[in-house]
Amino acid sequence: MTVLVRPKALGDYKARDFRMLIDGQWVAGAEGRTIERVAPGHGVVVSRYQSATKPDAERAIAAARRAFDEGPWPRMTASERSLILLRAADMIAARADELAFLDAIESGKPINQAKGELAGAVDIWRYGAALARDLSGESYNTLGDGTLGVVLREAIGVVSIITPWNFPFLIVSQKLPFALAAGCTTVVKPSELTSGSTLVLGEILEAAGVPAGVVNIIVGTGPEAGAPLTSHPDVDMVSFTGSTGVGRLTMANAAQTLKKVSLELGGKNPQIVFPDANLDEFADAAVFGAYFNAGECCNAGSRLILHRDIAEEVTARIASLSAKVKVGDPLDPETQVGAIITPQHLEKIAGYVSSAAGEGATVSHGGAALDLGMGQFMAPTILSAVRPEMAVAREEVFGPVLSVLTFETTEEAIRIANSIDYGLSAGVWSRDFDTCLTIGRRVRAGTIWTNTFMDGASELPFGGYRQSGLGRELGRHAVEDYTETKTLNMHIGQRTHWWMPR
């Protein structure tokens, strides 16, 4: 039985009205339309945004272009940019409660989770500030007396940053500070469902000293506001996080002008568990990995691949822990699983569960939507007797649904783990070092956790194989992703030959 935390009314809270940030000005959309955001956990309007269309996107791109070609930001010293980013990090920390509240009411995530994400975001901004001063090129004084080679790193230019609704502030923080550290200018489009905290970030960056036009923020739908950001010839790079399907469209649009694309997309992440694992620790990690952010997480550990000898016992342990998970009001500090982002998405999640049951899977826990009187919620769900060919085992459900598969040999476990189109992350649980290393080397995913799940740090790169994306975010090379390399091949002394001078 699921523990319910029934939502309370928001009381005197009044919906907040936001404008877009273009060229240092907070402006209305060209067509005067607005978007209202209904809180998924409370069922009332909590935010109103100006709805951008193509003319607004083009104004924002033009502002970013001018700021890059003519403005001071790319020409500042790295230390100057770093100080501004550090100031921004401090201001984010000072407004963390406000930002977390916006993310909680707009996305439905639990408030304590949102506060944890804000703390992580502050660390990322500080890390990006440090990397600004570490960016460097190369020199080659080894090419003979007549040549000196120097490789420069330069900011790539105007970057479109498009972010999803599931981690509104955290994901923009995995991109924007590194683009700014490199000296780029940007147009940011958060999801129209969860734009509030990103717009407040615009206020923070202005106050921190980022010049006008360097960060422009527009809100709108993908077709109207997002598409121009991916195809416009004045945009030099697109950094997108979202679904694999929209990632394909982004790449196709960017191909029109052959711009650089960085994509962080979907995942269907396995946890492979051997009989010698610490099963108590694993059960806790399995519940966390499946239900964190209501499973609306590309990194969710949504596939358990359990050794057949322990599958029944482990599934029972996980079901017992799942029954203790507190589901409900995102603003209650006790809540562990909040609301589902939209009614349509809740219907999609329930459809996966229904289809899996129809194909022979067993609903071992949960399996249905929850009626808490307002908003939309899904019970933490475990599906056992899942076969690798089922849709629920291959496709990203993006909800609190855990699929249990079984294996007998290491080779079979690896084959099941690698049998899908995604490759974002994976976990392996065993006390045997050889087993963990074998899985870590042979499972094709961007991150492999051993005897833990969904840990991370600003220093560790994040990204996926195959249809989980292109490129990496975070890590010591994160700023380099927003640069181009330029070779300076300098001749020294008299040049006497036209053919391969030496």
> How does pLDDT run across 171-228, given as a tens digit for each residue?
999 999 999 999 999 999 999 999 999 999 999 999 999 999 999 999 999 999 999 9
Instruction: Give the pLDDT of residue 12.
Output: 86
Six-digit token pair at 6?
């029934």
- Terminal Cα distance for the chain, rounded: 79
Six-digit token pair at 268?
């269907």
Instruction: Give the pLDDT of residue 500.
Output: 61
Six-digit token pair at 214?
């360097």
Give pTM, 2 decimals: 0.96
Catalytic residue check, 224: no
Name the active-site residue from 117, 192, 224, 264. 264
Q: Quick one: how many helices (H) and strands (E) in the chain?
A: 15, 27
Compute the distance between CA of residue 54 and CA of residue 314 in angstroms, rounded to an integer: 52
Rounded to the nearest 5 degrees, what angle is found at the Cα of 299, between the Cα atoms of 296 and 303?
90
Instruction: Give the pLDDT of residue 11.
Output: 85
Instruction: Give the pLDDT of residue 499.
Output: 65
Instruction: Give the pLDDT of residue 2.
Output: 82
Per the listing, tokens 């492979």 go with 272
Cβ contact 304:286 at 8 Å: yes
Residues 6+ apart with CB under 8 A from 113: 292, 293, 338
Count Cβ neighbours within 10 Å for each residue of 147-177 and write b for 16 or more, e otherwise: bbeeeebebbbbbbbbbbbbbbbbbbbbbbb
Instruction: Give the pLDDT of residue 501.
Output: 57
The residue ranges of DSSP E strands in 191-278, in sequence order, are: 215-217, 237-241, 260-264, 270-273
Instruction: Give the pLDDT of residue 498.
Output: 64
Per residue in 316-372, pLDDT tens? 999 999 999 999 999 999 999 999 999 999 999 999 999 999 999 999 999 999 999
Six-digit token pair at 215?
């960060």
- Mean pLDDT in runs of 10 for the chain (502 residues)? 88 94 97 96 96 98 98 98 98 98 98 98 98 95 94 98 98 98 98 98 98 98 97 98 96 96 97 98 97 97 98 97 97 98 98 97 97 96 97 97 98 98 97 97 98 95 96 95 96 76 57
- For the chain, the residue count is 502
The residue ranges of DSSP E strands in 44-84, in sequence order, are: 45-50
Instruction: Give the pLDDT of residue 240.
Output: 98
Phi, psi of 149 (to 5 degrees): -110, 135
For 411, counting Cβ atoms within 10 Å of its Cβ (0-12 exposed, 13-18 middle, 19+ buried), the class is exposed
